[in-house]
Amino acid sequence: MNNDRSRALYDRALSVLPGGVNSSVRATLPHPVFVDHGDGGHVIDADGNRYVDWVMGYGPLLYGHDVPEPVTAAIQSAAADGPMYGVPTEIEVEHAEFIARHVPSVEQVRFVNSGTEATVSAVRLARGHTGRDKIVVMQGGYHGAQESTLVEGEPGAQVPSTAGVPEEFAEHTLPVPFNDPDAAREVFDDHGDDIAAVLVEPILANSGIVMPVDGYHETLRELCDEHGSLLVFDEVITGFRVGGLGCAQGKLGVTPDLTTFGKIVGGGFPVGAIGGRADVMEGFTPAGDVFQAGTFSGHPVAMAAGKAYLEYAAEHDVYEHVNELGRRLREGITDICAEQAPTYTVVGTDSLFKTVFTREGPIGGDLETCCPAGCTQDPDCPRYDYCPKTGADVARAETDRWERVFRQEMTDQGILLTGNQFESQFVSYAHTEADVEETLEAYKHAL
């Protein structure tokens, strides 16, 4: 495979873009593949190489690279009218109405321009609503590149996870292990009166893919209710992907007070949103006193794309298709792992899939009774004790092998995976059974 142009572009990029990229996860080893254009479930790189693309923009591209005709028409029509106004438009109301109609906990929506902006505003709203400063997050959870959540460690010994964040910010953020109800109870016992919100991905999807154990989110819901704190689901990745249009909260049957959206909600354009109960949402200015604003918020072209995207999903077999191919991938990879790498754990649900290179597996257990389509945290499964429950469990896997050997071998075979062991992979409506077969063949060689 010739990569001369990608290498040359990376070389130029390193002079004018720090690290050669505009989002750190894109700096894949040994050099990023520079994309020239997309084609359905595939991308073609600057050297003309074709790849089956499971990166899918890191989540937004539910339809792959060929957008359905009504979506294209909506985008072109909105763009032809003029890019944006700074004055309200009907399309913002329509998109908000659609979301409120389909997502169980959402009565009102505030649109912003990214997932990060959504979590920043949700945290500010929760603090304003409760008059409290502290937020509980999950170790290994991801809520974008923002000060309040780039924090790691244990409650009482938490520190910023990056340079540039003052220690004082970390003071107000309490990271606990996902799937650990006792740790959640303990943090509420110690700080309950100061906790504005628990901010949690319903499924950890930026740290492998870690499903919640039975009852975990119910425990968080109860603790928040007991202590007057808000439960905020970060559905930036799961929203309109897991659980279809009802999102992960519909699938799990737990109702948060606030939800953050991003990725799919903008139909491939930069959009984020905060949604939730009207009495909480009306805390945002100008209805309330929590300042929130944005020049580009509710951008008409992005709103048109997002709304047409979701409407198309409501009227076609989109989720059936992507979930079915997701299941086939997870089952196929599970079979390959059983033969070639029995300690590895296949994870994911709906149209998310990943293989976590876990180091230990059940010895002599009856693997026939394992969940064939990825870990569902079934306590009766022989793998249960070895299956990742927390972000730390994923971090302890063979993350270097995944990134430095496996992913590169997959790329060489024309299969584009996300940049490291932690990021999820995504099935789109444009993917086909042939893409799945080709991908499984490549796993057979690379695992």
Assess contact for 232 and 199: CB atoms under 8 A.
Answer: yes
Residue 116 interacting with ligand PLP (CB under 6 A): yes
Structure-token match 């994911």, residue found: 348
Output 144 or 212, the one with its CB closest to ligand PLP: 144
Three-class SS state of 184: helix
Number of residues that bind ligand PLP (CB under 6 A): 14
* Shortest Å, Cβ 134 to ligand PLP: 19
* Shortest Å, Cβ 108 to ligand PLP: 20
Q: Which of 108, 119, 323, 421 binds ligand PLP (CB under 6 A)?
A: 119
Question: Helices marked H in 17-84 — which ranges?
Answer: 69-81
- Respond yes or no: is residue 142 known to be catalytic: yes
Burial of 6 (0-12, 13-18, 19+ CB in 10 A): buried
Tokens of 91: 């399309």
Residue 299 interacting with ligand PLP (CB under 6 A): no
User: How many C-beta neighbours within 10 Å does residue 108 have?
Assistant: 18
Q: Binding string, 232-271, against ligand PLP, x = CB under 6 A?
A: --x-xx------------------------x---------
Angstrom distance (rounded) from CA 174 to CA 183: 11
Residue number of the CB closest to ligand PLP reads: 115
Assess contact for 220 and 198: CB atoms under 8 A.
Answer: yes
Q: Which of 20, 140, 144, 283 binds ligand PLP (CB under 6 A)?
A: 144
- Respond yes or no: is residue 312 known to be catalytic: no
* Shortest Å, Cβ 326 to ligand PLP: 17
Residue 143 interacting with ligand PLP (CB under 6 A): yes
Q: Binding string, 388-417, against ligand PLP, x = CB under 6 A?
A: ------------------------------
Angstrom distance (rounded) from CA 398 to CA 405: 11
Structure-token match 């790691």, residue found: 152
Question: For ligand PLP, which stretch binds (CB under 6 A), given 79-87, 142-150, 157-165, 174-182?
Answer: 142-150
Helix axes 69-81, 300-315, angle to 10 degrees: 160
Q: Which of 234, 257, 350, 393 is catalytic?
A: 234
- Respond yes or no: is residue 263 known to be catalytic: yes
* Shortest Å, Cβ 237 to ligand PLP: 4
Length of the chain: 447
* Shortest Å, Cβ 239 to ligand PLP: 9
Residue 350 interacting with ligand PLP (CB under 6 A): no
Assess contact for 218 and 202: CB atoms under 8 A.
Answer: no
* Positions 311 through 340 that interact with ligand PLP (CB under 6 A): none
Q: Which of 53, 201, 257, 393 binds ligand PLP (CB under 6 A)?
A: 201
Assess contact for 190 and 200: CB atoms under 8 A.
Answer: no
Output 204 or 325, the one with its CB closest to ligand PLP: 204
Assess contact for 161 and 150: CB atoms under 8 A.
Answer: yes
Q: Which of 3, 28, 49, 114 binds ligand PLP (CB under 6 A)?
A: 114
The alpha carbon torsion through 281, 287, 290, 294 (nearest 10 deg) reads 90
Residue 142 interacting with ligand PLP (CB under 6 A): yes
DSSP code of residue 33: P
* Shortest Å, Cβ 202 to ligand PLP: 9
Tokens of 220: 């968080």
User: How many C-beta neighbours within 10 Å does residue 252 have?
Assistant: 20
Tokens of 216: 């975990």
* Residues annotated as part of the active site: 142, 234, 263
Q: Where does this chain bind ligand PLP (CB under 6 A)?
A: 114-116, 119, 142-144, 201, 206, 234, 236-237, 262, 272
